[in-house]
A = this chain, B = another copy of it.
Amino acid sequence: MRIGELASRVGVSVRALRYYEEQDLLASVGSPSGQRQYPDSAVDRVQLIQQLYSAGLSSRAIVELLPCVETGDVTPELLDRLSAERGRIDAQVSTLVKTRDRLDAIITTAATARSAGRPCPR
């Protein structure tokens, strides 16, 4: 498939895909005419990249971890990096949950106050 189709399948921009290639996150089969060609497996790969990005990983981190994330093979050094990122994500989750709970408390308080007939503040 060509870059436009891959982009629309995954829901990402063409520019982003070229950027991923520039960052060595994604390879394309160089067609003779100079147009990029991708296998179907590229869809999964791009989705994985997106997932890691949204988890707060940088391009540099992803490019280091991607091979072993796909193959499952990992050196002890990479295992450290994986654990480190896992820890980061874990910490982020817990602070996010705290924040969510805080917002929840406000929301429910406001809701009960409203249903209790208290006038809407201005």
Nearest B residue to A68, CB-CB: B106
In the complex, what residues of B have CB within 8 A of residue A43's CB? none
Can you show 18 pairs from A to B with CB atoms below 8 A apart?
A: A51-B102, A55-B96, A73-B121, A74-B107, A74-B110, A74-B121, A75-B120, A75-B122, A76-B120, A79-B107, A79-B111, A85-B103, A86-B100, A86-B107, A89-B100, A90-B100, A93-B96, A93-B97
Which of under 10, 10 to 19, 20 to 34, or 35 or more describes the interface residues of A?
35 or more
Indicate whether A33 reaches chain B with its CB closer than 8 angstroms.
no
Question: Is B93 touching A100 in the complex (CB atoms < 8 A)?
Answer: yes
CB <8 Å contact, A103 and B76: no
A99 within 8 A of B: yes
Chief secondary structure at chain A's binding surface: helix
Residues of B contacting A7 in the complex (Cβ-Cβ under 8 angstroms): none
Tell me, yes or no, whether A12 is within 8 Å of chain B by CB. no
Q: Report if A23 contacts B (CB, 8 A).
A: no
Known: A95-B51, A99-B55. A72 touches B107 (CB 8 A): no
In the complex, which residues of chain B have a beta carbon less than 8 angstroms from the beta carbon of A96?
A: 55, 89, 92-93, 96
